[in-house]
Structure 1
Amino acid sequence: MRNRADVIGFSEIPLLPDPDEARSWLEDELAKPAYAEAQPTWFDQMAKAISDFISGILNPQIGPGGGMVVAAIIGVLIVAIIVAAIIVWGVPRTRASSRLTADDLLFGEEESRTATELRRAAQQAAAAGDYDEAVILRFRALARGLSERGAVRLGPGATVHAFAAQASAAFPTEVAELSAAADVFDAVRYLRQPGTPEAFDGISRTDERLERSRPVALPELTGAIS
């Protein structure tokens, strides 16, 4: 019958190793992967260090005046976190509508194109046979053109008829044409009536005459459209 040492496979290992052998056995054992996996990671060590630091500054045994120091340290930490967040993710974006200025709006709607760009777009729409779009864009070009020249002052909530009234004060010879153009814009844009080549040509001619005319009154005297 085999003895107990033979059964467990340690028959050749001395029962009382000397110090060098014991140290060698321990090093071999700790080198196994199972022990390496059990070691704390760098993240664990960093988290513990931060936790120990915060616990230290919030220690209730802080002496007189220590509260001010703690508050200052916490404030610095908060600012550092905010700065780091901005560096990593950038400044938080505001809503697009909050970034719009008066120059980006026309009759309460987003429109940042210049008069020249709007005229070009209107002509392209007319060439494609889309007279609804052509009429709307040409009237917007007319309004934006007078605003760019300083003949009228368009507020974000200006209506087409309020614009026509102020433009008429600046160009009294065009009162009927401006009112008619505003009526056409309203009919096409809001009442869904179809635009026509005749309506587009009429607004275009009015716009062209206004480009060649000098205003007789300025918005400083007539007031801004709001």
Structure 2
Amino acid sequence: MTTVPFAPLAASFVPSLDSPVDVGRDQAADEAARELSRAAYQHESLFDRLQREIFQFIGDLMSGDGTGTGGVLSLVLIVVVLVVLALLLLWALRRFSGSGRAEPGAVFGRRERTAAEHRSEAERLAAEEDWAGAIRERLRAVARDLEERAVVAPLPGRTAMELAEAAGQALPSHAADLRAAARLFDDVTYGEAGGTREEYLTLAALDERLRSARTGVTA
């Protein structure tokens, strides 16, 4: 009986251990991307991630040759992205710059001060002969004092005339003087009137009278 040589046939099915493993470029890139996403970017903040993706998106658009329909579309998309970013920046700057401004027509600004602090500031401005500023601060002292004594209820955004009407109901004998003070405040604040020393002294005298006044009705 003839012996069949099995060894060479079996050896032909065993791969050589020395032969290199052929890994494609796309597969290597995918492996590297997955590794980076697991390690370097897993603790990345939302802002950094958004910034990275935006710049990556713009870089991908600009990586083309800039010709043909694809190139024109890429340029349009880049312009749109830049315009949106500029509008967002402008909105943030305007909101920040306007955070300390008072509402139009309001007596108070956004900074909270006591009546005593407003009076002190009014006296300082009067000493510098800044009559418009002194009148504004003195009326704010009047308004804050009335709120502190519960003559009128605090109301954010209240105008000078609304203050005069509310205080005039609680202090009827001073209603006419309060309305005159409110008109003076509006004139120097929104009407570009300069104000005078006599007008400031009149308002200061009203402030002193109101400090000792008692309400005629329950506030």
TM-score normalised to the size of structure 1?
0.51
Measure how far apart 1:206 and its partner are.
1.0
Cα distance in 2 between the residues matched to 1:199 and 1:154:
26
Give runs of aligned pairs for residues 53-72 of structure 1, distance below 5 A. Answer: none
Measure how far apart 1:214 and its partner are.
2.2
Hey, what does 1:196 align to over in structure 2?
Answer: 196
Measure how far apart 1:212 and its partner are.
1.1
Cα distance in 2 between the residues matched to 1:141 and 1:207:
8
Hey, what does 1:210 align to over in structure 2?
Answer: 210
Hey, what does 1:159 align to over in structure 2?
Answer: 159
Q: 1:215 to 1:47 in 2, by over 3 A?
A: farther
Q: 1:52 to 1:189 in 2, by over 3 A?
A: closer
Q: 1:81 to 1:148 in 2, by over 3 A?
A: farther
Q: Secondary structure at the match of 1:110?
A: coil
Q: 1:165 to 1:81 in 2, by over 3 A?
A: same
Give runs of aligned pairs for residues 80-99 of structure 1, distance below 5 A. Answer: none
Cα distance in 2 between the residues matched to 1:52 and 1:159:
58
Q: State the aligned residue count.
A: 139
Q: 1:197 to 1:53 in 2, by over 3 A?
A: closer
Cα distance in 2 between the residues matched to 1:165 and 1:97:
32
The answer to whether the 8 Å contact 1:151/1:167 transfers is yes
The answer to whether the 8 Å contact 2:146/2:152 transfers is yes
1:26-82 per-residue CA deviation (whole Å, 9 max, x = no partner) reads xxxxxxxxxxxxxxxxxxxx987554679xxxxxxxxxxxxxxxxxxxxxx7xx766
The answer to whether the 8 Å contact 1:115/1:141 transfers is yes
Runs of 5+ unmatched residues, structure 2: 1-31, 49-94
Measure how far apart 1:171 and its partner are.
0.9
Cα distance in 1 between the residues matched to 2:37 and 2:194:
70
Percent of paired sites with the same residue: 35
Hey, what does 2:120 align to over in structure 1?
Answer: 120
Give runs of aligned pairs for residues 130-209 of structure 1, distance below 5 A. Answer: 130-209=130-209
Higher relative contact order (CA 8 A, sep 6+): 1
Measure how far apart 1:107 and its partner are.
2.7
The answer to whether the 8 Å contact 1:154/1:163 transfers is no
Measure how far apart 1:110 and its partner are.
2.6
Hey, what does 1:110 align to over in structure 2?
Answer: 110
Q: Secondary structure at the match of 2:145?
A: helix
Hey, what does 1:58 align to over in structure 2?
Answer: none
The answer to whether the 8 Å contact 2:106/2:160 transfers is no
Cα distance in 2 between the residues matched to 1:198 and 1:168:
23
The one-letter code of the counterpart of 2:118 is: L
- Superposition RMSD on alpha carbons, in Å? 3.5
Find the structure with the greater CA-based Rg.
Answer: 1
1:141-199 per-residue CA deviation (whole Å, 9 max, x = no partner) reads 11111112221123223111111000011111111111111111111111111211111
Cα distance in 2 between the residues matched to 1:181 and 1:140:
11
Q: 1:120 to 1:82 in 2, by over 3 A?
A: same
Measure how far apart 1:108 and its partner are.
6.2
Cα distance in 1 between the residues matched to 2:38 and 2:189:
66
The one-letter code of the counterpart of 2:127 is: A
The one-letter code of the counterpart of 1:148 is: E
The answer to whether the 8 Å contact 2:115/2:145 transfers is yes
Q: Secondary structure at the match of 1:109?
A: coil
Cα distance in 2 between the residues matched to 1:204 and 1:180:
13
Cα distance in 2 between the residues matched to 1:214 and 1:114:
20
The answer to whether the 8 Å contact 1:114/1:141 transfers is yes
